[in-house]
Amino acid sequence: MRRLFRARGAELIPQARMSGPMPWVIAIMVAMTVIALAAGLALGNAVSSAKAEIEGGVTIQILEPRADVRAAQARRAVDAIKAMPGVSGLRLVPQAELDALIEPWLGTGIATATGSAVPVPALIDVRLKGPANPQALSIIEDALKPVAPSARVDAQSNWLKPVFDAMVSLQLLAIALVALLALALTAAVLLAARTALGTNRDTIEIVHLLGGTDSQVARVFQRSIGYDAAGGGAVGLALALVVILSLSRRFAGLGAGLVDNGALIWSDWLLLAAVPVLAILLAMVTARLTVLHALRKML
Amino acid sequence: MTADGEIIHFDNVGLRYGTDREVLSDLTFTLFPGRFYFLTGASGAGKTSLLRLLYLAQRPSRGAIRMFGTDAITMPRGRLPQLRRRIGVVFQDFRLIPHLSAFDNVALPLRVAGHREDDLAGPVRDILDWVGLSDRIGARPPTLSGGEQQRVAIARAVIARPAMLVADEPTGNVDPDMAQKLMRLFEMLNRQGTTVVVATHDLDLLRKVPESLIMRLDRGRLSDPTGALRYPPRKVQ
Ligand SMILES: Nc1ncnc2c1ncn2[C@@H]1O[C@H](COP(=O)(O)OP(=O)(O)OP(=O)(O)O)[C@@H](O)[C@H]1O
Ligand SMILES: [Mg+2]
């Protein structure tokens, strides 16, 4: 029975093979869907890995203008926290690093120029085993009050909350875009199937009257549309990959931590590759249902 | 009424398209296997409509139709293809597939029925040879003349050796010699057991097949001047 469809040069439905507009519409829709999906996935990865990284993070600032007092309080604070349970990491940020942090704003050599260092708070990075929730913070504050009265305790996640919020809303936007594009892709495929049915209606009817079964006719049709969708899907995926890879190289070049963490993992790539496959399946199922529906009306 | 050996039986069949008046009314007749029937009638009398009922392109609006021993009205859709494969059809407008060669058009019924490619090339060539198109085997229908297309359509209708051949004005586009030749092809098939139904308003054609039976349609109503439709005539031979 396959011979009906395979015979050389005897394609029942003439194969347009990327010559009509439909494969290209599908290609563009697939490309945009894949890109939007990649953006959504990358943002999701960035948000969750950054979250995990700073969830247990606490920053302690010693806000004390006198350098010697500040250093003494910082030392005592470090000792006090070392003695606390539930702390997995602790680091007193060295003065050189602090200088480097403010250098972009104040320039180098301020200490030598004015004869006295600009009073920069001492910074202690603390990593908790659990999340840095308000209870954890108040325990630390209570422990520090007697030894380092100038200490201010903040959860790192508080500082970055606006950034997270922005990233999450970008991610939501990406998800909404994927949904819209998937919808448009479905519509494109539906239109493609309808158009193909319209142009091949005579052929379908003739084969039907010569004793072709519904599924025989549907299979021919399905295969023809499957080819178109596969061509479009492959082109679209290739296009999207080019865009994604070159963009990710740009971002990697930025060296900013949050973006690096947004790298796509293998399951993300699988998901992206599934988009054209889904488009092909959708096209074939749509074609099949459209033909079967038309045939039912024919008797 | 169940006549043994009947191939088609219509009982009080009527057909209307949409909500128009009936184009066929009160058709009651029996076709017997191995016979040669002509269906005549003025243009618009309903010949094509009746043939459409015969080749299962259309359900009647009323009445009962039995084909090959089964009720064609209540039969599930899934069984219709098997029935259609036993019927060869020459459509009035040929209905060839324009992007397929003459060869592939003629091979279509065999391919639909699942014949192997090796087995169908010979018969397809033979039949195209018979209708005088051996040199046009690779031509696509749009490049063929009307008469040539008609002959391809006839070749396609007979290639699978159907139990019943239904032909709608099969000689409308050919010269008298070719018409004669095609009638001989139909007669030959008929002699091998195929029931033939030919719609035509060419009365000369009727005379070319002396053993034929004649049905006449007049504004959707059937008359059988030879009286041969209801009572099986004595078997020829
Ligand atoms: N699909 C259709 N929808 C509505 N009316 C139709 C349809 N097909 C045929 N008719 C009408 O049914 C009547 C019979 O048409 P039919 O084609 O059966 O006639 P015919 O005897 O084959 O004519 P001809 O000799 O010209 O081929 C005509 O009045 C025609 O207008
Ligand atoms: Mg007609």
pLDDT tens, A147-156?
888 888 888 7
The percentage of chain B sitting over the pLDDT mark of 70, rounded to a whole number, equals 93
Q: Is any atom of ligand 1 closer than 6 Å to the C-beta of B43?
A: yes
* Residue A8 resides in a domain: no
Domains of chain B, CATH where assigned: 34-56+86-222 (3.40.50.300)
Which span out of A173-187, B43-57, B174-188 was modeled with the highest average pLDDT?
B43-57
CA closest to A1 among chain B residues: B114
Say whether pLDDT at B230 is over 60: no
The predicted model gives A184-197 an average pLDDT of 79
Q: Are A218 and A15 within 8 A, CB to CB? A: no
One domain for residues A222 and A273: yes
Say whether pLDDT at A14 is over 80: no
State the CB neighbour count (10 A cutoff) for residue A286. Answer: 20
Q: Are A290 and A225 within 8 A, CB to CB? A: no
One domain for residues A253 and A173: yes
pLDDT (tens digit per residue) in B47-81: 999 999 999 999 999 999 999 999 999 999 889 99
Say whether pLDDT at A176 is over 80: yes
The predicted model gives A57-61 an average pLDDT of 85
Report how far apart, in Å, the C-alpha atoms of A230 and of each of A199, B76, B207 are: 20, 35, 58
Q: What are phi and psi of B41, to 5 degrees?
A: 150, 155
Nearest by Cα to A181 from A64, A68, A36: A36
One domain for residues A73 and A174: no
B104–A4: do the CB atoms touch at under 8 Å?
Answer: no
Say whether pLDDT at B87 is over 90: yes
* Residue A101 resides in a domain: yes
One domain for residues A105 and A133: yes
Residue minimizing CA distance to atom 2 of ligand 1: B17
Top residue of B68, B111, B159 to mutate, by most chain A CBs within 10 Å, is B111
- Say how far apart CA B205 and CA B208 lie, in whole Å: 5
- Say how far apart CA B201 and CA A274 lie, in whole Å: 61
One domain for residues A180 and A251: yes
* Residue A156 resides in a domain: no
For the purposes of burial, counting CB atoms within 10 Å of the CB of B91, is it exposed (0-12), middle (13-18) or buried (19 or more)? buried
Nearest to A1 among B78, B107, B114 (CB): B114
- Say how far apart CA A136 and CA A128 lie, in whole Å: 9
The predicted model gives A76-92 an average pLDDT of 84
Domain count along chain A: 2
Of A124, A149, A174, the last residue of a domain is A149
Nearest to B108 among A210, A296, A299 (CB): A210
One domain for residues A203 and A140: no
- Say how far apart CA A147 and CA A73 lie, in whole Å: 7
The predicted model gives A9-38 an average pLDDT of 77
Nearest by Cα to B228 from B53, B65, B68, B29: B29
What's the mean per-residue pLDDT of chain A? 80
The percentage of chain B sitting over the pLDDT mark of 90, rounded to a whole number, equals 64
Helices A214-254 and A22-55 sit at what angle, rounded to 10 degrees? 50
Chain B positions in Cβ-Cβ contact with residue A211 (cut-off 8 Å): 81-85, 109, 112-113
Min CA distance, B230 vs chain A (Å)?
28
B97–A202: do the CB atoms touch at under 8 Å?
Answer: yes
CA closest to B138 among chain A residues: A9
Query: If residue A194 lies in a helix (H) or strand (E), which one and from where to where?
Result: helix A156-199
Q: Which of the 8 DSSP states describes residue B135?
A: G
Of A149, A176, A191, the last residue of a domain is A149
One domain for residues A195 and A117: no
One domain for residues A87 and A210: no
Residue minimizing CA distance to atom 25 of ligand 1: B43
Confidence (pLDDT) at A255: 53
HSE-up (13 A, CA, CB side) for residue B82:
9
Question: Quick one: pLDDT band at residue A159, thresholds 50, 70, 90?
Answer: confident
Chain A positions in Cβ-Cβ contact with residue B75 (cut-off 8 Å): none
Say whether pLDDT at A52 is over 80: no
Top residue of B15, B83, B87, B112 to mutate, by most chain A CBs within 10 Å, is B112
One domain for residues A193 and A263: yes
Confidence (pLDDT) at A152: 87
- Residue with the bigger pLDDT between A122 and A17: it is A122
Say whether pLDDT at A179 is over 50: yes
Confidence (pLDDT) at A19: 62
pLDDT (tens digit per residue) in B195-226: 999 999 888 888 888 888 889 999 899 887 66
The letter for the amino acid at B186 is F
Nearest by Cα to B48 from B76, B23, B80, B31: B23
Report how far apart, in Å, the C-alpha atoms of B53 and of each of A120, A155, B37, B49, B78 are: 97, 83, 16, 7, 17
Confidence (pLDDT) at A258: 47
Min CA distance, B111 vs chain A (Å)?
5
Q: Which of the 8 DSSP states describes residue B91?
A: B
Say whether pLDDT at A97 is over 60: yes
- Say how far apart CA A282 and CA A266 lie, in whole Å: 24
- Counting from 1 in the atom list of ligand 1, the atom nearest the Cα of B51 is 18
Of A149, A180, A213, the last residue of a domain is A149
Min CA distance, A262 vs chain B (Å)?
52
Question: Quick one: pLDDT band at residue B1, thresholds 50, 70, 90?
Answer: very low
Nearest by Cα to B2 from B71, B53, B80: B71
Nearest by Cα to A218 from A298, A292, A294: A292
Least confident of A143-157, A169-183, B44-58, B83-97: A143-157
Residue minimizing CA distance to atom 24 of ligand 1: B43
Least confident of A48-57, A61-70, B208-217: A48-57
Confidence (pLDDT) at A108: 65
One domain for residues A79 and A40: no
Query: If residue A272 lies in a helix (H) or strand (E), which one and from where to where?
Result: helix A266-296
Q: Which of the 8 DSSP states describes residue B64?
A: E
- Residue with the bigger pLDDT between A170 and A14: it is A170
* Residue A239 resides in a domain: yes
- Residue with the bigger pLDDT between B229 and A3: it is B229
- Ligand 2 centroid–CA B173 distance in Å is 14
- Say how far apart CA A241 and CA A244 lie, in whole Å: 5
Question: Quick one: pLDDT band at residue A209, thresholds 50, 70, 90?
Answer: very high
State the CB neighbour count (10 A cutoff) for residue A195. Answer: 14
Report ipTM (2 d.p.).
0.89
One domain for residues A29 and A111: no
Q: Are A49 and A137 within 8 A, CB to CB? A: no
Cβ neighbours for A203, distance < 8 A, ≥ 6 positions apart: A12, A13, B97
pLDDT (tens digit per residue) in B134-183: 999 999 999 999 889 999 999 999 999 999 999 999 988 888 888 888 88
Nearest to A211 among B78, B99, B109 (CB): B109
Residue minimizing CA distance to atom 18 of ligand 1: B46
One domain for residues A173 and A68: no
Say whether pLDDT at B190 is over 90: yes
Cβ neighbours for A100, distance < 8 A, ≥ 6 positions apart: none
- Say how far apart CA A285 and CA A222 lie, in whole Å: 7
Q: Are A200 and A210 within 8 A, CB to CB? A: no
User: Could you list the residue range(s) of the whole structural domain that residue A204 is in?
Assistant: 21-52+161-295
Q: Are B186 and B165 within 8 A, CB to CB? A: yes
